[in-house]
Structure 1
């Protein structure tokens, strides 16, 4: 891990930028927030690069002020940019936020020194990402083998407005499966039930929504599609399967999951596990389900 990070840092500091892009944002003196002009420029860059991948963000200042003040200011600039972009563009897991302050070769034009530089790789070059950064395959394998396992909680307790408490038991194994799933995998959310003929989740199943929320919060690169399925009827006349998938989507959006990481779709009864009409409640329950498709992980 240490060797890997050092390699990335050295490559970014030196002139070895083969197949690696960079984008600069500039700040007013002693400020860490962008001007309206720079914010607009940043917004346009995000829209144009949402399929690319960030590998580092570096912060700089001019020589005005003390070194301590400039080091802090540079870090604030980095943090400001990171907090905007973190849920909108893919970011390398071991990427570095580095604040150099005034400790770099200064331009004679002070305005050029008050900046943040984003280093990124174009979508077409992402399959060669480790090669571009000079990371050997054995180092990648070492990192994957030593990646710590996320310790999900066993339950969540909420205090209701009336003073009572609600407790949800969480399925940690399911959460681990979703967090570790590969792109293209599909998992069923077991025991996620709705009030009959509606898209309202029954109280007993609300813990399933929080399981999904915690997994997404703990795995910032995870993108999913929520898929709704119905039983019993050959035609989903009210589009209930889509409404149920959308209800889960809306819950996640409401809890600050960035919408670019989510999508939803209803399939009605077009993809049954058991033929329709089903023979019993077991088959109906299997067909009446919500699945999670791993779009990216």
Structure 2
């Protein structure tokens, strides 16, 4: 796995005091029913947490099998856990069930990847539930929006597999623009490139992911939708635009961004900037993009 080193990272400390908890149960290969041991673990947790509240349930698989099979298996695992806890513990009305399948930061130990994680809030912290979840209270109409200027780091340095280091200059103007954008505003992530016909981010574009990560870390009320777009082909037969958006979503979640703050969607070539077929590479590059839509700020 590619290592990275972040220089001059400036993070808000507000998340350190948040009391979102989690418990993880594990499954056998290709199974979506719990073993007796894991079922006991879950039921014991439920009996000790009836006054707490579940806010999300996420399912995962290892890399064995097809992507379609793993997505289905992860969802079945989520459904299993939900059915076991739904009538025994408080659950947030708008709680999220998400199946990542194999598309997340995989452990080398496959057994650790076959799991479901429950996120929950302790009873003592329920009065701060919206704050913990990054949900901003509605502003009064007479309030004037305040422009925030966060002093983000100037650059990042990544360590490559061969031991060399790559430096990436951060776009601080773009990062502050996201943090101050209005709800509904759409912003393109410039210079974010993928390997051809895949959802793997090019090595030279890794810094763009960390720009987005830092913005979300420093703006805990921010919620976004990640939208993927393709060029050239009128039909996205492999749903590549969704996979690219989901890859960015998975990166953010793997780096501790709370999943309910994020959604993703692929549009294929249905919303091009330039009509298809494009006339040149500049038009193709413009159509081949990832955009961020501000859901809450």
TM-score with structure 1 length normalisation?
0.57
- Say which structure is richer in helix: 1
Q: Deviations over 1:204-257 (max 9, x none)?
A: 111100000000001101100000000001000011000000000000000000
Q: Match of 1:185?
A: 185
Residues 88 and 235 of structure 1: CA distance in aligned 2, closer, same or farther (over 3 Å): same
Identify the residue that residue 88 of structure 1 maps to in structure 2.
Answer: 133
Q: Which residue of 2 aligns with 1:279?
A: 279
Structure 1 residues 42, 186: closer, same or farther in 2, change over 3 A? Answer: same
Deviation at 1:154, TM superposition (A): 1.4
| Other-structure match for 2:51 | 41
What pairs up with 1:22-61 in 2 under 5 angstroms?
39-43=49-53, 47-48=92-93
Aligned to 2:250: 250
1:156 Cα offset (Å): 1.2
Q: Does 1:222 align with 2:222?
A: yes
- Where do 5+ consecutive residues of structure 1 fail to align? 1-34, 51-76, 93-125, 131-136
| 8 Å Cα contact 1:87-1:258 kept in structure 2 | no
**Does structure 1 conserve the Cα–Cα contact (< 8 Å) formed by 2:134 and 2:220?**
no
SS for the counterpart of 1:233 is coil
User: Matches of 2:232 and 2:198 in 1, distance apart?
Assistant: 15
Structure 2: gaps (5+ residues): 1-44, 54-88, 96-121
Q: Which has the higher contact order (CA 8 A, sep 6+)?
A: 2
1:176 CA displacement = 1.0
Alpha-carbon deviation of 1:167?
A: 2.1
> If you compute each CA radius of gyration, which structure gives the higher value, 1 or 2?
1
Partner residue in 2 for 1:262: 262
Cα distance in 1 for partners of 2:124, 2:166 equals: 36
How far 1:168 moved relative to its partner? 1.8
**1:148-167 map, 5 Å:** 148-159=148-159, 163-167=163-167
Shift of 1:158: 3.5
CA distance in 1, matches of 2:153, 2:124: 28
